[in-house]
Amino acid sequence: MLAFELLGSLGLLIFGMKMMSDSLQKMAGPQLRNLLGTITSNRFSGILVGTFITCAVQSSSATTVMTVSFVSAGLLTLSQAISVIMGANIGTTFTAWIMSLGYNVDLTVVVFPAFFFGLLLIYNKRFRMAGDLLYGTAFVFFSLVLLSATGKSMNLENNPDVIAFFSSFDTSSYLTILIFLAIGTVITCIVQSSAAVMAITILLCSTGVLPIHMGIALVMGENIGTTATANIVALGAGTQARRAALAHLLFNVFGVIWVLCVFYPFVDLVCSIAGYNQAEPIQASSIPFVLAVFHTCFNVANTIILVGFVPQLEKLVCWLLPQREEPQAEKGYKFKYLKSSLMQTPEISVIQAQRETVHFALKTQDMFALVRQLLNEKKPAKWEELYNKIEQQEDESDQIEIGIARYLGSISDDHLSNETKNLVRTMLREISEIESICDSCYNMARILKRQKESGLDFVPDQYHQLQAMTIFTGDAITQMNTVMSSRLEDHSIDESYRIENMINIMCKRLKEDNIKAVNAHQYDYSVGTMYTDFVKECEKLGDYVINVMQARFGK
């Protein structure tokens, strides 16, 4: 039963930490995206951001996965990512202090009221995420209470077999330290939770059966094992993302190596800072504090040492993981930013969908440029080449719309913040209208193909008017992409309305002029029909652009 109590308490701790981390990410998701997006080349700002985010979401793994996702999406450089990862290592020490608090303070006075009020908030739609946070925090504290009680019930300090087992290890031997370092690494890789391994370490050390040196070795192993999550996530991503994950591993491994070189003096220093006398009998209340102090000193010192060597660390991971040719998909369009393997952080994954949507919009500009070339092209071979490109891009636009929509659907399956839900709905509206722009471009190409196959040609004045019309339409697309590719607050929808109004005025005038020209027998009626069809498609395209802009500005 004691074994089940221990395993159950650890399971409750992992669940509580995940629930607390997820709720914090949902509550602060949009702000975290904006915060990561403001990182400059200043490595110190990156460290501060990484520290703050990890303290906020209570998970260094979540921060590093976010960072890997941003590198994969091209939103962070490798150098910026390394500085964020350094900050994440400092931020994760906050978890150790929470564990220390749980072992030194009677938390039962706050656990049960937290469960009660958390349950009330969970059933309130408006405050559900706050309820999740309170409930997750209560689970964490309750699990620490259970672990402390279980540790006392196990009575390990009076168990001769357990004492004999740990006494068989020589704490003055580096071999012992390396063994427990490896144990901490392996266990953390398996359970994917450094908090759970830290809880076990504190439990064993506080009973006196595990010497402080072995406990610290386990903590060092946790620092290496916790890098497994980001490296697993990065396996399905691009080279830059894998480099960022590898940098996290190398950073922690380097820290462990230099601490091992000065292990015993460093442990003595930490114990003196924590006021722990190793010569005295076990001081159970001091052990969690000592481990928390070591965890903090280790990560802060490692960051101070390596912060000046970020460029060298970047070169090292680039050398270890050279740029490789990305395999081309045999069929289908290959997305530039969407990485399905990085869906572990849905709030952050939204930014990748945003980037892909902007990239989709930019493709409409290329497609319309091909239509304008097609209108003026006279060489048959070149004309066919341009038409085939337009046809191919239209097929790709269908794939892109479906791909982004499915990706957003996968994200929206999770419980997102209201702001992010609105953003998902906006993007779904945008990609539908952008795909309609591509349809209009293809329809224009088909009209020109119909005109070419009929053997009839537009008169010079018609070519002149169509070229003028495509200039205005191209301006509408350019303005749309300018707004989508930059900060929304720097622009207004008024310019798009102005261009759309000019397109409508010109469309109306050209249709009226066409009727007069046909009645005056200046050209054949079928030529006039194809001419007005092209003009109408330009007008439709302008309407679709306005729809994108209205979605963008929340109209």
- Which residue range(s) make up the domain with 207? 2-320
Residue 229 confidence (pLDDT) above 80:
no
Query: Could you tell me if residue 333 is inside a domain?
Result: no
CA angle 259, 262, 266 (to 5 degrees): 80
Query: Could you tell me if residue 61 is inside a domain?
Result: yes
Residue 343 confidence (pLDDT) above 60:
no
Q: How many domains is the chain built from?
A: 2
Angle between helices 78-91 and 60-72 (to 10 degrees): 170
**DSSP code at position 292:** H
Does residue 538 share a domain with residue 454? yes
What pLDDT score does 437 carry?
A: 94
213-225 pLDDT tens trace: 888 888 898 888 8
CA 100 to chain centre: 30
Does residue 422 share a domain with residue 314? no
Closest listed residue to residue 232, CA positions, set 13, 50, 68:
68
CA–CA gap between residue 509 and residue 166 (Å, rounded): 92
**DSSP code at position 236:** T
Does residue 154 share a domain with residue 78? yes
Query: Could you tell me if residue 84 is inside a domain?
Result: yes
Does residue 213 share a domain with residue 147? yes
CA–CA gap between residue 291 and residue 105 (Å, rounded): 16
Residue with tokens 């349809």: 439
CA angle 195, 201, 205 (to 5 degrees): 145
Does residue 361 share a domain with residue 255? no
Does residue 378 share a domain with residue 241? no
Query: Where is pLDDT greater, at 169 or 303?
Result: 303
Does residue 365 share a domain with residue 310? no
Average pLDDT over residues 297-310: 89
Average pLDDT over residues 497-510: 93
Closest listed residue to residue 338, CA positions, set 431, 449, 443:
431
CA angle 383, 476, 470 (to 5 degrees): 35
Does residue 310 share a domain with residue 353? no
What pLDDT score does 364 carry?
A: 92
**DSSP code at position 282:** P
Does residue 390 share a domain with residue 300? no
Does residue 364 share a domain with residue 262? no
Does residue 269 share a domain with residue 123? yes
Task: pLDDT band for 491, please (50, 70, 90 cuts).
Answer: confident
Read off the pTM.
0.64
Assign residue 359 the CATH number of its domain.
1.20.58.220
Average pLDDT over residues 163-186: 84
Average pLDDT over residues 512-520: 91
**DSSP code at position 334:** P
Residue 80 near residue 116, CB atoms below 8 Å: no
For residue 275, the SS3 value is: coil
CA–CA gap between residue 360 and residue 437 (Å, rounded): 11
413-448 pLDDT tens trace: 555 667 778 888 899 999 999 999 999 999 999 999
Average pLDDT over residues 11-27: 72
Last residue of a domain, one of 303, 320, 337: 320
Task: pLDDT band for 205, please (50, 70, 90 cuts).
Answer: confident
Residue 29 near residue 348, CB atoms below 8 Å: yes
CA–CA gap between residue 427 and residue 551 (Å, rounded): 8
Average the pLDDT over each of 144-153, 188-197, 424-433 and give the range with the smallest value.
144-153
Task: pLDDT band for 52, please (50, 70, 90 cuts).
Answer: confident
